[in-house]
Structure formats: structure tokens, C-alpha cells
Chains A and B, each alone.
Chain A
Amino acid sequence: MDDFVQLWVYLSSTPLFGLTATLLTYAAAQAVYDRVGRAPWANPVLWSVVCIGLVLVATGTAYPTYFAGAQFVHVLLGPAVVALAWPLWLRRAEVRRRGVALTVAALLGGLAAAGSAVGMAWLFGMPPDILRSLAPKSVTAPVAMGIAERIGGVPALAAVFAVLTGMVGALSAKYLFNLLRIDSWAVRGFALGTASHGIGAARALQVHADAGAYAGIALGLQVVLASLLTPFVFHWFR
């Protein structure tokens, strides 16, 4: 037993732990997700985060210890954002043809998401650093962190809000769109990508190819629009 404890103490302090835990948990969560017919509630990001979080809290492992290994997955977010050029390029004819409609929808949708979040949080009396971390919540996590930093928010908090927003979108989009009678896959995908960035886009990709492509376009557009406009809007309100 002592040997086991020592082995655990050793393993949990090397980067090997965080990386292995992330990949194993995600692979298991993905397998369950496929098994239940990709039901929204079985979202693999949600369950991976919950399971790993519980293990860390239960074993008293510090987040930086976990992140020492998990960062090898995390760094890939950068090239993944660059790679969004690929779905955009594949659909370049459509993007050009519908460019104005898509940009207007992305702008108004992004504004509605960020504005309602900041407005409600302000009404609830939350401190300014939380308000500023909520503003970029509909942008993919790595970019949301950058925006939050620029407008005086807390990057780590912004990342958490962005991930939660992504999960809420991925979990509930189906029901919301059915309620609103939105039946075009393109519109559903685009709206999911606009409000719920990469996690929403990942869900859209799994549901329908058109929805996935439009979610990818929306994600890319939101990244560009929000990076450009959020600091500008916050500068104005100061």
C-alpha cells in the first residue's frame, strides 16, 4: 500500500499524469457519448472536465500540477484557431455570396450574447473584473483570454466562462432551435458557432456537415469581430 502511495505521489507530480488523465478521460467520455447516440447531455467536454476536476479535488492535486501535463493538449488550441481558415476556405464561395448576411448576423448575435451577459451580471451586482471576464464569453477560449486581458478582466476566468458557454450551447441548442422552428442546418450551425464557439462547433460538426461548416465560419467570424470590437466598446464605456 505504501508503495502504491509513493508511486501515486511520484506519477501525479510528473507531466505524464496530466496528459494521460486528459486523454484517457476524454477517450472514455467520447466513447460514452457515441454509445448514447451523441445525446447533448453526454457532452464529452462537460464530463471530462467534471471527472478530472473531481479527481483533482479528491486527491488534493493542485491545478498547476495537472496543467504541467495538460498543457501539451492546450498548446494545440493556437494552431487549431489558425486551422479554422480551412473550413472558411472550403466554403469561400458561399462566404463571399452571403458575406453581408453572415457578418450582420454574427455582429448582432455576438453583441446580444455579450451585452445580455454583462447587463445581467451588472444587475446582479457582480464586481467589474467579473463583468469584463464575461464580455468575451462567446469567443473561443484562447482568444477570450486574450480579449479579457486587454479589457481588464481575468484571463483564467474568461476561459472558464467561455468553456461553460460552449457547453450550455452544445447541450441546449437542439431544443432552442426546435422551439424557434429554425430548420435550416446552415442557420442552426451558424447560430451555435456564434454563441458557443469551438465547443458548439464541435457539436455541430457531429450532428450535420452543413451545420459544422457554418459553425466553423461563425467561430472564425466571431473571433475576428470580438477581438476588434470588444476592446473598443469597453474603451468607450470607461
Chain B
Amino acid sequence: MMALRGLAILLLLQAAGEAIVHAVSLPFPGPVVGLVLLLPALGVAWIREPVAAAAELLLAHLSLLFVPVGVGVITHLHLVSEYGLRLLVVIVVSTWVGMAATALVLRALLGKPGVEDTERG
């Protein structure tokens, strides 16, 4: 029941986000605005508790939610056959570049003497 109430709040905030995006033509997707709206609201206990229950359920099964979109690959098999190998190289290499850049930058920034130690917190 708690998670259900939380899901209702999440959907309401997503809807509010979509409405704001359309009204002010913001460059954000609706759910992102919903996320930003939810952050301060989490200070309120009767919002926080149901949202926490729903969020933990949704985020625990986050990878399931990507399956329907992922299966959409089959509608682009012609691209795969045309650019398949090159696309794979682009996606794999750029993902490694992104991960390595983020990790090295963050380690350098957090590792500075006087700045917080990585092991803490």
C-alpha cells in the first residue's frame, strides 16, 4: 500500500514535470523536472515514506524496465547489417572513454590532499 501511494506521488510529479515543460518549453524531459520537484518535497515525512517504498521497488528492478526498448533493436536490423561492426566499435570505445575519463577525473579531484578522503562517508 505504501509503495502504491508512493507510485501515485511519483506519477503525479512526472505529470507536473511534463506540464511545466510544455508550459514554459524547458529543454528537459518531463520526468527530470519531476525529479527536481521531488528533491525538496522529500523533506516532508508523509511524502518521503511512501516515495521511499516505491523508489526502492522501482530502482531494484530498474534493468527490467529497459527490456521493452532494448527489444526495439529488431526494428533497426537493417542499420545493424549496414553499420553493425562500426557501430559496435563506436559504442564500445566511447563507453570506455567515458568511464575512464569520469573515473580518472573524479579520482584526481577527490584524491587531492586536504580534500575529503575517498574512504570516508
**B1 proximal to A (CB < 8 A):** no
Contacting residues, chain A, for B7 (C-beta < 8 A): 79
B66 proximal to A (CB < 8 A) = yes
Given contacts A45-B67, A79-B54, contact A53 B86 (CB under 8 A): no
A160 vs B36: C-alpha distance when bound (angstroms):
26
User: Are B70 and A49 touching (Cβ within 8 A)?
Assistant: yes
A180 lies within 8 A of chain B by Cβ: yes
Cα A110 to Cα B55 in complex, Å, equals 25
Supposing A82-B35, A187-B110, A201-B62 touch, asked if A109 and B105 sit within 8 A by C-beta, the answer is yes
CA distance A57 to B73 in the complex (A): 11
Q: What number of A-B contacts does a CB cutoff of 8 Å give?
A: 312
Q: Considering only CB atoms, which chain B residue lies closest to A134 in the complex?
A: B90
Measuring CB to CB, which residues of chain B are less than 8 angstroms from any residue of chain A? 7, 10-11, 13-14, 17, 27-32, 34-36, 38-39, 42, 48, 51-52, 54-56, 58-60, 62-76, 79, 83, 86-87, 89-107, 109-110, 115-116, 118-119, 121
Which A residues have a C-beta under 8 Å from some C-beta of B? 18, 22-23, 25-26, 43-45, 48-49, 52-53, 56-57, 63, 66-67, 70-71, 73-74, 76-89, 94, 97-98, 100-102, 104-106, 108-110, 112-114, 116-117, 120-121, 124, 126, 130, 134, 137-138, 141-143, 146-147, 150, 156-157, 159-166, 168-169, 172-173, 176-177, 180, 182, 184, 186-188, 190-192, 194-196, 198-199, 201-203, 205, 216, 218, 220, 223-224, 227-228, 231-232
